[in-house]
A and B are shown apart, each in its own frame.
Chain A
């Protein structure tokens, strides 16, 4: 609780103290406390779940990372990407080919695959500097489809993948696992349940890394510039910053994060095939990731985590309901994923800002009332929400393209 003037005393030490103060659990805002509780709950999850349930939940951790990767570029800078699976697939296929066809050690191949995905980010980032709105959406939509086609084109062996990429079905061999029963694994264990717990913690550590990176970047001054690009690119330019540089950085970071998640997944139980890395409908993983990030709340990072959890939870609920649907004579669970999509549509229409920002607002209001203070102003109190400004940006771009005259 120092109240010194900025230039008094040892600056370094005061800085350290300030950080410590921020990390003091009892001093944190309620939402941050909840976040910490959430992480602890995730860490303790293996003590409650059965091994099979746990292996399903491990997948959700990867979904969270994918959604965060989308949020970094699309939620923050407003450059909507419709094909983020492009990066996941580069990471996943990259590490699988490197480790099982070239014999690269697992940790090195994860790093190399991450770099490969970052290069993919450059490939998408360069057009993104020139294109806006729907044009960029098209490029990002096409990129994973082209990648998919190239897997078919190189399904036979080539110099960079001696055993081939396996066409539409994917690779036939699972890359070496980080935790596994067989002799190929990095950490060998004796029992099924230990393996599942091990896989879970591998995913959890990856989640912590991704969360830390995304959080650090988006809460730094670079994050502020990302937000500024979303709000008004000209303003960023006129204050002497180069938006192109920051957009490129956002794309590369997002691609690296997505590629990293895809790569770790392949070594923690995932199978490197097209259905896993693109979705059964070729673009549905990309779509699901967008839906998750938007349900949770764009431009918040935490929203991506919450959105992925909600999405997975909805799927679990649907698959556990086995009653007959009246009229058409099939089980409700067989309707999956229709109810989940329907749920997503409802949230998109009625809660466009996402669950996390709405929840924080509502909680603030309730807390203030509970303490007997003046309730804070609701929506629009401190500028636009991330969703609003992305929408405004996109609308401007479409109107420019259509040459409309209503401003």
Chain B
């Protein structure tokens, strides 16, 4: 019984993390129609930014500042990718797709070379502490929950706060509605005077920020980051792709639901069937799903 409760809790927490990982991917696809294969690299950028800010071989600041720096770094890299490259090839989806793959690898190798050659740290194992670690749990009143649960609670809460904020932003602000308009029709948006160029930039920056933020949490959760963390289990790049397809391409609601389905399915197969299945089970689920219902759970919320 207690094993089931533990698994339920673990699944809830990990799903909240997966939701943040996937949302950036969904935003870019929904608005620009671009599958951003550099998403995994943005996540890695977040983890490395936090490492540089917080670790002893870097600046040695508290991890909360690292989290902030990671979010900003993710946003900056996302914006730079759009402004520097994607803007010019936006109308050629295949080129964009392959370019994002190349850019992703470019960023990952750059991080690898930077940590290895300049900082002298093994890029396969960079230390990134959990945001709420042991030292911040000095407060006796909360220490009985344990720092790792507290960290999970932190992830869970901020995940829902961010999702709520994004929902509010997209549905209730002028910029957000402009984003929705562009996602429905470029031409229609242009007719009412929306600058699609600017909206795309905003989505890329937002997506990058979400990715950077997720990168720190993921690395903290795994006990460290790696320059290959985008494709090593749980492979956030593939994971976000999977979640987004499961929920229906381009739907924020769908991605959140998809994240929870994948999170629960993975935790339960790993806990109750075999720990060898980590990293495989959700992919197999996805393959089956793709063959049975390729349009996803929520095809497109805007197009009823």
Residues of A bordering B, CB below 8 Å: 80, 82, 127, 130-131, 134-135, 137-139, 141-142, 145-146, 149-150, 153, 281-284, 287, 290-291, 294, 328-330, 334-335, 337-338, 341-342, 344-345, 348-349, 352, 387, 390-391, 394-395, 398-399, 401-406
Contact = CB atoms under 8 A, between A and B. Distances in A.
A390 B89 CA distance: 15
Interface stretch (B62-70, B165-173, B181-189): B181-189
Given A153-B276, A287-B105, A348 B185 contact: no
Given A138-B245, A150-B280, 9 more contacts: A80-B97, A131-B291, A137-B97, A138-B241, A138-B290, A334-B113, A338-B109, A402-B183, A406-B186
A346 B270 CA distance: 44
B30 interface: yes
A344 B280 CA distance: 32
B26 to A, nearest CB: 12
Contact of B238 (A145, A153, A329, A338): A145
A145 B283 contact: yes
Contacts of B241: 138, 141
B102 interface: yes
Contacts of B109: 337-338, 341
Given A334-B117, A348-B102, A394 B94 contact: yes
A47 B235 CA distance: 46
A391 B34 CA distance: 13
A404 B105 contact: no
B184 A395 contact: no
For the residues of A in contact with B, the DSSP-based class is helix
Contact of A82 (B101, B184, B188, B286): B101
A146 B279 CA distance: 9
A344 B94 contact: no
B279 A149 contact: yes
A153 B295 CA distance: 31
B184 A345 contact: no
Contacts of A338: 106, 109-110, 113
B118 interface: yes
Interface of B: 29-30, 33, 35, 85, 88-89, 92-95, 97-99, 101-103, 105-106, 108-110, 113, 117-118, 183-188, 228, 231-233, 235, 238, 241-242, 245, 249-250, 276, 279-280, 283-284, 286-287, 290-291, 294-295, 299-300, 302-303
A344 B97 CA distance: 13
A44 B249 CA distance: 52
Contacts of A328: 118
- Which 4 residue pairs spanning A and B have beta carbons closest together? A403-B303, A341-B106, A406-B187, A391-B94
A281 B292 CA distance: 31
Report which residue of B231, B235, B242 has the largest number of chain A beta carbons within 10 angstroms of its beta carbon.
B231
Nearest to A298: B94
B192 to A, nearest CB: 14
Nearest to B286: A142
A107 to B, nearest CB: 34
B215 to A, nearest CB: 17
Nearest to A127: B291
Contacts of A130: 291, 294
Nearest to B89: A349
Contacts of A334: 113, 117
Contacts of A282: 228, 231-232
Report which residue of B184, B185, B290 has the largest number of chain A beta carbons within 10 angstroms of its beta carbon.
B290
A228 B105 CA distance: 33
A330 B280 contact: no
Contacts of B279: 149
A138 B250 CA distance: 15
A287 B276 CA distance: 28
A331 B44 CA distance: 24
A134 B35 contact: yes
A142 B245 CA distance: 13
Contacts of A344: 102
A263 B301 CA distance: 47
A153 B93 CA distance: 36
A394 to B, nearest CB: 5
Nearest to B86: A349
Contact of B290 (A139, A149, A403): A139
A142 B281 CA distance: 12
Contacts of B29: 134
Contacts of B35: 134, 137
Nearest to A142: B283
Contacts of B94: 80, 387, 390-391, 394
Report which residue of B30, B33, B102 has the largest number of chain A beta carbons within 10 angstroms of its beta carbon.
B102
Nearest to B235: A145
B238 A141 contact: yes
A291 B100 CA distance: 12
A282 B105 CA distance: 11
Contacts of A341: 102, 105-106, 109
A138 B242 contact: yes
Report which residue of A335, A352, A401, A405 has the largest number of chain B beta carbons within 10 angstroms of its beta carbon.
A401
A84 to B, nearest CB: 13
B35 to A, nearest CB: 5
B292 to A, nearest CB: 10
B262 to A, nearest CB: 13
Contacts of A337: 109
Nearest to A293: B98
Contacts of B103: 345
Contacts of A403: 299-300, 302-303
Contacts of A291: 98, 102
B184 A281 contact: no
Given A135-B245, A138-B242, A391 B231 contact: no
B110 A402 contact: no
Given A341-B102, A341-B106, A135 B290 contact: yes
